[in-house]
Amino acid sequence: MIRWRRGIVDALHREWTGAIELTVTVEGGESRLALAYPALIGRPQPGDTVLLNTSAQDLGLGTGGYALVVALPDRPPPSGTDPPGHVVKARYTPLQVRVPAIDEQGSAHHHLLRDADDLAGLPVVIADLHSALPAVLAGVRADTPHARVAYVMTDGGALPLWFSRTVAALRGAGALAGTVTVGQAFGGDEEAVTLHTGLLAARLVLGADVVVVAQGPGNMGTGTRWGFSGVACGEAVNAVAALGGRPVATLRVSAVDGRARHRPVSHHSLTAYGRVALAPADIVVPTLEEPLRAQVAAAIAPLAARHRLVEVPLDGLEDALRASPAELCTMGRGFDDDPAYFLAQAAAGRHAAALIG
């Protein structure tokens, strides 16, 4: 189930919040690109022996380009004092982590969340892919540049938020008010046990005007009707509605995806919003050029039975997207390769900004 390799660190390369990229020479002299999370295993140095998990890298997965450093067996980090908090994430795995959850009894904010039950109409943008995050933010900030936007990361993709260079770039540019990791995901500015308390924390603790909910990098799909991690988008709609928020659903749109099931609107969006979401949401429909606009309208027509289909103009959004401090890339495609995808996400951000009370 796990492919293990042992090697020696050759050099350290790029570094961003919570993560270090390095090259490692493994047995047989092969060089591997690896990623380490210093908070979990300590900070590697050239010459260190490292134990690697190469399972995803060997499969050639889109987000599996790294071997992951599991341990520095000859130089483990000191135990030190017990960290705060008693919530454990990535539970019962060899690298389970102890975190101070914002909703646990020892939290300084527990009193705010203990009986909290209302998002008071807070607009919450729900997206299938992590790549939507910078595009949604571009749409929010195109019209309301001073809006406070929080990111709530679910556990459908990467569990450590540190894996995301996108979040690091957005935080470095001051585009995010804060992050919350929920479920089994960890590494955010705040930790929460569930999506529900993560949403409430975004409003009550981070003071967000708009929240974006999306999984971390590494979407999982199987080519079946139900076997994809984005099914959680429908569950997120239900959570936001249950708490009195305003669900704003993005459509995964593409005119160029090589897989028919993702054109012009991905079946992920159609299934999550058409079958899983039991509460109504604002489904944002970007005013794309013809014939794609008509194709999208035909694909999503059945969603109108439950949801509000909201057409949003795209004026100025291309410029906003091109000015994003984080790279725009989805499934290996940049803005010029698949503009419809990014414009659809930005349109959702624009609509959410218009709902700020």
pLDDT tens for each residue of 259-305: 888 899 999 999 999 999 999 999 999 999 999 999 999 999 999 99
In a domain, 83, yes or no: no
Which of the listed residues 16, 41, 71 is the one where a domain comes to its end? 71
CA dihedral 78, 81, 86, 87 (to 10 degrees): -30
Buried b (16+ CB within 10 A) or exposed e, 203-213: bbbbebbbbbb
Give yes or no: residues 56 and 193 share one domain.
Answer: no
8 Å CB contact between 259 and 227:
no
SS3 state at 116 = coil
pLDDT tens for each residue of 225-238: 899 888 999 999 99
In a domain, 217, yes or no: yes
Tell me: pLDDT of 61 over 80: no
Give yes or no: residues 147 and 41 share one domain.
Answer: no
Res 81: pLDDT: 59
Report the domain count for the chain.
2
In a domain, 310, yes or no: yes
In a domain, 82, yes or no: no
Res 83: pLDDT: 66
Looking at mean pLDDT, say which of 56-65, 103-112, 192-201 comes out highest: 192-201
In a domain, 298, yes or no: yes
Residues 6+ apart with CB under 8 A from 77: 41, 42
Specify the higher pLDDT residue, 1 or 226. 226
Q: How many CA atoms lie within 13 A of 130 on its CB side?
A: 28
Give yes or no: residues 194 and 67 share one domain.
Answer: no
Least confident of 107-116, 133-142, 289-298: 107-116
Give yes or no: residues 67 and 115 share one domain.
Answer: no
Give yes or no: residues 30 and 155 share one domain.
Answer: no
Give yes or no: residues 156 and 250 share one domain.
Answer: yes
Res 133: pLDDT: 98
Rounded CA-CA distance 253/288 in Å is 10
Selection from 90, 94, 44, 47 nearest residue 69 by Cα: 44
In a domain, 247, yes or no: yes
Domain of residue 17, CATH code: 2.40.50.140
Tell me the three-class secondary structure of 158-187, residue by residue: CCEHHHCHHHHHHHHCCCCCEEEECCCCEC
Tokens of 27: 């047995």
Rounded CA-CA distance 21/12 in Å is 6
Give yes or no: residues 36 and 171 share one domain.
Answer: no
Give yes or no: residues 56 and 138 share one domain.
Answer: no
- Domain of residue 299 covers 110-354
Domain of residue 205, CATH code: 3.40.50
pLDDT tens for each residue of 325-354: 999 999 899 999 999 999 999 999 999 999
8 Å CB contact between 52 and 7:
yes
Residues 6+ apart with CB under 8 A from 319: none
pLDDT tens for each residue of 194-223: 999 999 999 999 999 999 999 999 888 888
Element housing 213 (H / E): strand 210-215
8 Å CB contact between 187 and 181:
yes
